[in-house]
Amino acid sequence: MVYIVTGAAGFIGSNIVKGLNERGISDIIAVDNLKSAAKFKNLTDCEISDYFDKSEFLERLPSLGKIAAVLHQGACSDTMESDGRYMMENNYRYSLALLEYCQSRATPFIYASSASVYGAGSVFRESREHEAPLNVYGYSKFLFDQVVRRRLPKKTAQIAGFRYFNVYGQRETHKGRMASVAFHFYNQFRASGCVKLFEGSAGYGNGEQRRDFVSVEDVVKVNLHFLGHPETSGIYNVGTGASEPFNAVAVATVNACLAHEGKSALSLNEMKARGMIQYIPFPEGLKGQYQSYTEANIDALRGTGYDQPFLTVEQGVSRYIDHLVRAG
């Protein structure tokens, strides 16, 4: 049977394809939109059996025969996208059509939601009263989650949605400005010897806004765990369960770079004193649309039996920088 990964040339999708390969699975149909052609590079070291553009995929579904599972990672993830019609068609309506097909064929459906559904809240638990998205991207994910909640009691096969928090790691180069802060910090430091963070906002000090930063390595592990447990359905947070400040990501990035230069690690204060970390004004365009704090409550995820530890920022960013350095 074939496995389908949508968004397969994207950041998380391509890592999932590689994860499936490492489990000996290569009968994979990759689905994506390569209008931005640079994404193809994410699949050059992966084994797939076929590729479909997302515009033709839904029509071709009935001809694909028995499907082992669909891992739906495809979406517009640009939180600054202002075309609401495009966002809803791409993220909501397309996902709904794919869900309905999978349910009609009793096919497991694992999909990407987002922590953006929580908006500016301070409680990050998978419950309706804590959900209030700040932008149309978050709303598109929120609305689809509501459909899933209504379908779960009468599901014909697994439906599992993952609310990803701030994911970082390899295969995100194509994302440009939407790539992780770890990626941008690395490139800034390599180019100028300096990392730039936002000044304080929403009551937080310079660089002290906090997020739950989760390595894509851990995201793949969660997806593959659920793939191996088709009896488990629901909507789950996927984060480390611990928020860390942007300053911590900057320090981890700089120290990983220094290690590759054979230099000793420095503290945050030492980096600031040497001009390695600087702060820039908080962008006007992000005011009112920015999550200054996120921290996944992962009790529900742990309750499914997933007991693997998550990489800390120091661990995960160091491994990521090692990869970026090796890649040149």
Q: Which of 18, 54, 155, 175 is catalytic?
A: 175
Tell me the C-alpha distance between 323 and 321, whole Å: 5
Tell me the C-alpha distance between 201 and 162, whole Å: 28
**What's the CA dihedral at 287, 288, 290, 295 to 10 degrees?**
140
Q: Is 239 in contact with 298 (CB distance < 8 Å)?
A: yes
The SS3 of residue 29 is strand
Q: Which of 111, 118, 137, 164 is catalytic?
A: 137
Any catalytic annotation for residue 306? no
Count of beta carbons in the 10 Å neighbourhood of residue 49: 11
**Contacts of residue 10, Cβ cutoff 8 Å, sequence gap at least 6:** 32, 39, 42, 73, 74, 174
The SS3 of residue 145 is helix
Tell me the C-alpha distance between 121 and 150, whole Å: 23
The SS3 of residue 327 is helix
Backbone angles phi, psi at 278, to 5 degrees: -130, 165
Helices (H) and strands (E) in the chain, counts: 11, 13
Amino acid residing at 215: S
Instruction: List, as one string, the DSSP characters of 248-305.
Output: HHHHHHHHHHHHHTT-----HHHHHHTTSEEEEPPPGGGTTS--SB-----HHHHHTT
Any catalytic annotation for residue 175? yes
Q: Which two tokens stand for residue 118?
A: 């929580």
Q: Which residues are catalytic?
A: 137, 175
